[in-house]
Chains A and B, each alone.
Chain A
Amino acid sequence: MADLNTQPPPPYQREQLAISLLAFALLFAFATFFGLTQPDITFFRTHAFAWSSALLVTPALYIFVRRHGIAPLTHWWRLFWTFAWVMIAVHLIWGLGLEHDWQPLSVFERQGFWIAFPIFLLQAVWLIDIAMTWTRYDWAWPTGGYKVWQGFMWLFVLANFFVAMVIFRNDTESLVIGLMQTAVVVAAFLMRWNEREQSL
């Protein structure tokens, strides 16, 4: 059994931060300023933040499928995973604060338990996961329970986005982004499977 402490940390390059941050910042600015041209600015921004989060999480979902359990996760993964969470937190602030007047119960009333509950649960659990990726030395090379947890988180996040964007498809933008995300994840699995075949 390999000693985890001997695993080298994945290499960090500045462009990983530069690109993920740029993606985050431009999406944020788009939601903020393009919102000004929309009939309902808050409504638009709330949605645009959610679309942005879906876009940011997609590279992370992809990398995870390609590497989890076979290679160390990368900083690309960690950065996109984190920015996606920040963006969904912004979405929650807008949705809860501006659309629901900071009344969480009204979200339950309006959406029903089975939609409202996962929204809040996701926010909390994902944050715990992110806290771990930034504090645990073995975030890139998880083993045991932590590895299972990461797998579960991946599935949970994906499921949330899939249900919200593809199943509910409240607007075309959601559906398009949701389908793209699904396609990317499917492609990642195919590639992973293909690699496995070849290495066998």
Chain B
Amino acid sequence: MVRRAVNIAAIVVSCLALVASLGWLWLEGRWSAWSPPQGEPAAIGYNAFTKGAFGLEAFPLKYAVVAGRVSSAAFTTTLEDGRSLWETFGFLPNSKAVTLKEPFCEGNADKWLPYGFAVTNYVPATAVQTSLKFAGLTCASCHSGQLRQANGKLSEPISGMGNMDLDVIAFTDAVRNAVMDPDLTADKILNEYAKVCPSDSAGLIDGFVEKFMLDGWLSGIREAMGGDSRKYGLPYHGIQMKQADDIPAGPGRTRPFRSIVRVAMNLPGDENYAYSKIPAVFEQNQDLRPRAQYDGSLGDPVTRSFIAAYASGSSIKALSKPEVVHNIRKAAAYTEDLGIGIPVKTFATHFPDHAPAAADVEHGLTVYKKHCADCHGHRPISADPAKVEPWVAEGKYLHKLEGVGPLAPPNGGLGVDAERVTFRYAHDLPLAIWTTLPGNPKITAVQEKRLDKAIIDAQDAGAPALAYFWQKQKEQFLLTKRQYRLGHPLYFPACPEGDATCTPESLLDRAPPCALDFKAYPQTCEITDFEAFVNNPIPYAFLRAPYLHNGSVPTMAQLINLEKRQPQFCRGQNVYDPENLGYKAPNPVDGKCTNPREAFLFDTKVRGNGNFGHNYPAWDPEKLTDRQRADLQALLAYLKTI
């Protein structure tokens, strides 16, 4: 009797376990069903760029609804000044939010989530797809901006301009603070959500899955962050998040190399003073921009986007999902055509009252040709101020590298702040990145060889610890190679399909560390690590302020030596200055930035913030002759039109 009952129970349990497993797998299939969107390439590109998930899932959407309530301590900077949580950290507001009458819930997220957020169902890191929706960053969270007029009016979001308000590192710290809160639980989030959005209840199964996944997300992220504390330290909180002493990147800048040293090399990223302004990403086409990043380290546009996403924290698992791969590729293609086939509003359209006079522009072009075009190429003057002519990529030094630091020529050359290219591990990073993604079987063989060589080289150089490091990297590589058996889909396109000339030897030639020196042209190396900056075109120069890679020069007038560069200024939600082409960045009073909306003290004396160099034309702004002043004013007028 008992035996019979036990047997039957076992069979029933088995059937239940099988039904549950198969049911779950079926649901997974449903949740992850995806087919490439159809339509206009420009629209697909725009969507991929502004709404396309790429694995930077920040937190569950329901949590986003109630974050301000259940985690207010973690998100409060004390400098809100009436702004929403999102705006305080510099995300671009959703234009529909102001008029939205209903409460902000999951269902109407597209009407209140800040511009440039994706709604996805990827669980962060593992990229498993479930019914739990997440809010994640997109390219546009960083690479779209708005121009703020003196009267507070904002332009439409401009795709491709860097978001100069965005305090992305501060935001990350706020999120880390919030999720590490021991009092935060799935129940707390869901209960609060039910209060805010009472009419919005999930179905039975979805509700169960949601609770389960929310719990899993919380404990997973806590464990990951707790474990990562050794690499990342504890997050800053409150006013610290807005203080340059604590978070030195500030608005509009990130520390991509600190992150990438952490994620690609698994080493602490401290002692890294490479502050990168979020760059404008117009006209990324390879004819105009054969190599990108400020140091020209990357060639292929898809790789540029991959690295951007990877450095910002997406996992390589997420980056292998067909939908994410699609988004990265389409977003990259979008940046290649943005400003060429896809129009970008000109300065004169934004500021008709400040449109420069045609005669000045013409005079400015001659000044530009004399002092700038060799390095940057130029844009012919357009008859229609609402349009631009195609950029002319011609110039003696265009696309070449300008050495800084140890590689600088005797006269100092470009002379800009070198921290961006001289940080610790800068020279080991290319190989670490290049072997992060395993290629197809032909390529993995080369990748392994390179890693073996790195081990031997390190030993030969008398750096056994480094040899050990490369050994560990190789172990990791062998594991990922097993995980991506056909090669990772975003692997650098080292060997194009059907390219018979592509041999293991030619692959090795292009694999970092490359043999070519920084003066070689063209650079064929897939990732370089020269202590140099690249001379590239500067399309839509008015949307690139504050200037230089570290954003240390608020206006173009200062960059071209028409005005003296500011040693200190206040950054945040600065008003655009169409006269001087850039931002009105107030000087601090008694060393303090008191306006809560411009609270970040940018001190150019701080390591990594230097505003020196790029001294073109090399005139002293305080001793300009009338002729020089007129030239520079004309140059400024021309620069407004490119």
Tell whether, in the assembled complex, residue A41 and residue B4 are in contact, meaning their CB atoms are under 8 Å apart. no
Tell whether, in the assembled complex, residue A40 and residue B441 are in contact, meaning their CB atoms are under 8 Å apart. no
Tell me if B606 is interfacial: C-beta within 8 Å of chain A. no
Tell me if B392 is interfacial: C-beta within 8 Å of chain A. no
**Bound: A132/B15 CA distance, A:** 26
Tell whether, in the assembled complex, residue A26 and residue B216 are in contact, meaning their CB atoms are under 8 Å apart. no
Tell me if A197 is interfacial: C-beta within 8 Å of chain B. no
- Which of B13, B25, B315, B482 contacts A22, CB < 8 Å? B13
Tell whether, in the assembled complex, residue A19 and residue B20 are in contact, meaning their CB atoms are under 8 Å apart. no
Tell whether, in the assembled complex, residue A21 and residue B483 are in contact, meaning their CB atoms are under 8 Å apart. no
Known: A14-B7, A33-B24, A100-B485. A39 touches B126 (CB 8 A): yes
Of the 9-residue stretches A102-110, A117-125, A149-157, A183-191, which lies at the interface with chain B? A102-110
**Bound: A100/B7 CA distance, A:** 39
Tell me if A115 is interfacial: C-beta within 8 Å of chain B. no
**Bound: A28/B17 CA distance, A:** 8
Could you show 22 A-B contacts with beta carbons less than 8 Å apart?
A14-B4, A14-B8, A15-B3, A15-B6, A15-B10, A21-B11, A21-B14, A25-B15, A29-B20, A29-B21, A32-B25, A33-B21, A36-B216, A39-B125, A39-B317, A41-B128, A99-B486, A100-B486, A101-B486, A106-B486, A109-B441, A110-B441
Tell whether, in the assembled complex, residue B441 and residue A18 are in contact, meaning their CB atoms are under 8 Å apart. no
**Bound: A21/B10 CA distance, A:** 8
Tell whether, in the assembled complex, residue B485 and residue A28 are in contact, meaning their CB atoms are under 8 Å apart. no
**Which A residues are in CB contact (< 8 Å) with B126?**
36, 38-41
Tell whether, in the assembled complex, residue A22 and residue B486 are in contact, meaning their CB atoms are under 8 Å apart. no
A166-188 contact mask (Cβ, 8 Å, vs B): 1 or 0: 00001000000000000000000
Tell whether, in the assembled complex, residue A32 and residue B21 are in contact, meaning their CB atoms are under 8 Å apart. yes
Tell me if A24 is interfacial: C-beta within 8 Å of chain B. yes
Tell whether, in the assembled complex, residue B4 and residue A25 are in contact, meaning their CB atoms are under 8 Å apart. no
B140 to chain A, nearest CB (A): 28
Known: A14-B7, A110-B441. A36 touches B482 (CB 8 A): no
A34 to chain B, nearest CB (A): 11
Cβ-closest chain B residue relative to A112: B441
Tell whether, in the assembled complex, residue A106 and residue B17 are in contact, meaning their CB atoms are under 8 Å apart. no
A109-146 contact mask (Cβ, 8 Å, vs B): 1 or 0: 11000000000000000000000000000000000000
B205 to chain A, nearest CB (A): 15
Tell whether, in the assembled complex, residue B21 and residue A43 are in contact, meaning their CB atoms are under 8 Å apart. no
B186 to chain A, nearest CB (A): 15
**Which A residues are in CB contact (< 8 Å) with B11?**
14, 17-18, 21-22
Known: A99-B485, A100-B486. A26 touches B17 (CB 8 A): yes
**Which B residues are in CB contact (< 8 Å) with A5?**
none
Tell whether, in the assembled complex, residue A29 and residue B317 are in contact, meaning their CB atoms are under 8 Å apart. no
Tell me if A37 is interfacial: C-beta within 8 Å of chain B. yes
A111 to chain B, nearest CB (A): 9
**Bound: A38/B127 CA distance, A:** 11
**Bound: A178/B6 CA distance, A:** 31
**Which B residues are in CB contact (< 8 Å) with A25?**
13-15, 17-18, 21
Tally of contact residues, B, Cβ under 8 A? 28
Tell whether, in the assembled complex, residue B10 and residue A22 are in contact, meaning their CB atoms are under 8 Å apart. yes
Main secondary structure of the interface of B (DSSP, over half): helix
**Which A residues are in CB contact (< 8 Å) with B317?**
39-40
**Which B residues are in CB contact (< 8 Å) with A26?**
14, 17
B14-53 contact mask (Cβ, 8 Å, vs A): 1 or 0: 1101101100110000000000000000000000000000
Cβ-closest chain B residue relative to A107: B485
The 4 closest A-B pairs by CB, nearest first: A25-B14, A18-B10, A25-B17, A32-B21
**Bound: A166/B441 CA distance, A:** 24
Given contacts A15-B6, A25-B15, A36-B216, 12 further A-B contacts (CB under 8 A): A15-B3, A18-B6, A18-B14, A21-B10, A22-B14, A26-B14, A29-B21, A32-B21, A38-B126, A39-B317, A106-B486, A110-B441
**Which B residues are in CB contact (< 8 Å) with A39?**
125-126, 315, 317
**Bound: A19/B20 CA distance, A:** 19
B26 to chain A, nearest CB (A): 11
**Bound: A109/B486 CA distance, A:** 9
Cβ-closest chain B residue relative to A111: B485
A114 to chain B, nearest CB (A): 15
**Which B residues are in CB contact (< 8 Å) with A101?**
486
**Which B residues are in CB contact (< 8 Å) with A43?**
482-483
A108 to chain B, nearest CB (A): 10
**Which B residues are in CB contact (< 8 Å) with A29?**
17-18, 20-21
Cβ-closest chain A residue relative to B444: A110
Tell whether, in the assembled complex, residue B21 and residue A18 are in contact, meaning their CB atoms are under 8 Å apart. no
Cβ-closest chain A residue relative to B125: A39
**Bound: A100/B8 CA distance, A:** 39
**Bound: A170/B125 CA distance, A:** 23
- Which of A28, A37, A38, A99 contacts B18, CB < 8 Å? A28
**Bound: A100/B440 CA distance, A:** 12
B308-349 contact mask (Cβ, 8 Å, vs A): 1 or 0: 000000010100000000000000000000000000000000
**Which B residues are in CB contact (< 8 Å) with A110?**
441, 485-486
**Bound: A28/B13 CA distance, A:** 13
**Bound: A40/B483 CA distance, A:** 8
**Bound: A196/B6 CA distance, A:** 36
Tell whether, in the assembled complex, residue B485 and residue A106 are in contact, meaning their CB atoms are under 8 Å apart. yes
**Which B residues are in CB contact (< 8 Å) with A33?**
21, 24
**Bound: A19/B14 CA distance, A:** 9
**Which A residues are in CB contact (< 8 Å) with B125?**
39
Cβ-closest chain B residue relative to A21: B14
B346 to chain A, nearest CB (A): 46
A171 to chain B, nearest CB (A): 9
B478 to chain A, nearest CB (A): 10
A7-25 contact mask (Cβ, 8 Å, vs B): 1 or 0: 0000000110111011011
Interface centre among A37, A40, A170 (most CB of B within 10 A): A40
Q: Which of B232-285 contact A (CB under 8 A)?
A: none
B227 to chain A, nearest CB (A): 13
**Which A residues are in CB contact (< 8 Å) with B20?**
29
Cβ-closest chain A residue relative to B13: A22
B441 to chain A, nearest CB (A): 5
**Bound: A83/B330 CA distance, A:** 45
B134 to chain A, nearest CB (A): 15
Q: Which of B110-160 contact A (CB under 8 A)?
A: 125-126, 128
Interface centre among B6, B21, B25, B317 (most CB of A within 10 A): B21
A34-76 contact mask (Cβ, 8 Å, vs B): 1 or 0: 0011111101000000000000000000000000000000000
A20 to chain B, nearest CB (A): 9
A14 to chain B, nearest CB (A): 5
**Which B residues are in CB contact (< 8 Å) with A14?**
4, 7-8, 11
**Which B residues are in CB contact (< 8 Å) with A107?**
485
Tell whether, in the assembled complex, residue B486 and residue A103 are in contact, meaning their CB atoms are under 8 Å apart. yes
**Which A residues are in CB contact (< 8 Å) with B3?**
15
Tell whether, in the assembled complex, residue A36 and residue B10 are in contact, meaning their CB atoms are under 8 Å apart. no
**Bound: A106/B482 CA distance, A:** 13
